Amino acid sequence: MPDRSYPAVDHLVRRAQRAAAGRSDAARILAQTISMACPGGADPYAVLGVLIEGTVQTLVEHIPKERQAEIAAMLKQLLDQRLTACGVLGGDD
């Protein structure tokens, strides 16, 4: 991802880090932060880029190498299913 400055996204990241440091449920905090990102003024294209980069980094850094290809394929399938369910993609795309 190119180095760009997105103050609203940076603010959300700092906010999530502060909240996660004080609580044990980091996944819930991340989900709440993501849901507040765009209504909070963050650039939706930057948010999507950050989410994709975070997904890739999580896969590479925390999933065993021997399972990465399988999990990557499952992620692609899940994204396709969710986009189809939300009407963004047709069933045959």
Query: Does the pLDDT of residue 69 top 90, yes or no?
Result: yes
pLDDT, tens only, 38-66: 887 888 998 899 999 999 999 999 999 99
Q: Is the full-model pTM beyond 0.85? A: no
pLDDT of residue 24: 62
Identity of the highest mean pLDDT range in 9-13, 16-20, 35-39, 76-80: 76-80
pLDDT of residue 13: 76
Distant-in-sequence, close-in-space partners of 13: CB < 8 Å, separation ≥ 6: 50
